[in-house]
Structure formats: structure tokens, C-alpha cells
Amino acid sequence: MGSRPPAPPQASALLIIDMINLFDFPGGPVLARQACPLARRLQALKQRFHRAGSPVIYVNDNFMHWQADFKELVAVCAHPDAPGAEIAERLRPQPGDYYILKPKHSAFLCTPLPLLLAKLGVRRLVLTGIAADACILATAMDAHAREYAVEIPRDGVASRTPRLRDLALSTLQGAAGIGISRLSRIRP
């Protein structure tokens, strides 16, 4: 018997965008109220990706002024007194998950995400997290411009209001033909 061939590259990746958060910005408490039930739903989706052996990638704003790594960011957000503690605890990264800190809205802007996706063989992205009308929108447009297949579950993203979420998703679907579905229909 020879050595086993390398595993085939992963076709899909789950991106969890900006869910590890202090929610200490204007509109943050309102967004946190939308993000709390979202975290419960994403926890189940994340487990489906783990069971399938598909990558889970956290992409998060670096609001710690570039003086902390992702593990420190999670610890600060999961502190019991932090407004996003329940969310950070529920979605705490597991061994084998990937993480990227970003400087601005898009997960692609000035980050190693394209290199990571290439190394993993990913060509399809499932975008989840907050806010649909900001970071999800910017990331989806950048992914579309880079010719990734993009799917966004309507119940897998949130904004300060459902109307803002729906406007962003409608724009992405209409302008870029991005697939909008439900969490129950997402397959790793």
C-alpha cells in the first residue's frame, strides 16, 4: 500500500463576520439585540460545517487598536460584563477554526483571506454575521468581484433593523446575483 492521496480541497467555507464584538459603538446595543438570536442559529450552522470537514473562518474588525490578537479579542468580548459576552461564548472558536482580523468593512480589504481561501481550495463562501448593510455587503461584493460563489442565508445575517438587512440582501441579489437562502438550506 502506498501513501494516501491528499484530501480534496474544500469547496466551501463558512465566514462568521464581526460576531465577536463589544457592541460599544453608536447603534451597537440595538445591533447586539439582533445578533443574540443570530448567534444561536449560527452555532448550529457552524457545527454542520465542522461535521462536513469544511472550514469555518472568523473575520473580525480589530477594534483593539492593533494591540491584541484574535484570542485576546475573544477573551475581552466573552468577559461576563461585556455586552456581547453571550454571543462570544456561544460562537467561541474551536480548535481548527481560522481567524482573520480586518481593518475595514470588507473581509478582503488588506487581509490574508484570499491567500487562505486559495490554500484551502475554497471557491464558495457562505457569509454570515453582522451587519448585512455594511460588512456583509462589502465582503459579498468583493467576493463576487473575485468570482467566488457567494451564498448568504437571510436568517444568518443581521443589521440594526430587519429592513436594513432586507435592503442590503435585495441589493446583493439584484445587482450581483448573489444567492440569498435560509440557514436550513445551506450545505457545507
pTM, to two decimals: 0.93
- What are 3-40's pLDDT values in tens digits? 444 445 559 999 999 999 999 989 999 999 999 999 99
User: Secondary structure of the chain: what % helix, strand, coil (to 5)?
Assistant: 45, 20, 40
pLDDT in tens, 48-59: 999 999 999 999
Cβ atoms of 32 and 87 within 8 Å: the answer is yes
Is the model's pLDDT at 133 over the cut of 80? yes
Strand partners, 149: 124
For the cut 80, the answer to whether the pLDDT of residue 87 exceeds it is: yes
Tell me if 176 sits within 8 A of 144, measured CB to CB: yes
pLDDT tens for 138-179 read 999 999 999 999 999 999 999 999 999 999 999 999 989 999
pLDDT at 184 over 90: yes
Host H or E run for residue 173:
helix 162-176
How is residue 59 written as a grid cell? 473575520
- Count the Cβ atoms, other than its own, within 10 Å of residue 164: 17
Q: Give 71's DSSP letter.
A: H
Residue 103 has pLDDT above 90, yes or no: yes
The partner residues of 130 in beta bridges, in order of sequence, read 158
Helix (H, G, I), strand (E, B) or coil at 110: coil
Which domains, ranges and CATH numbers included, belong to the chain? 12-185 (3.40.50.850)
User: What is the model's pLDDT at position 10?
Assistant: 53
The CA-based dihedral angle spanning residues 49, 78, 160, 168, taken in that order and rounded to the nearest 10 degrees: -30
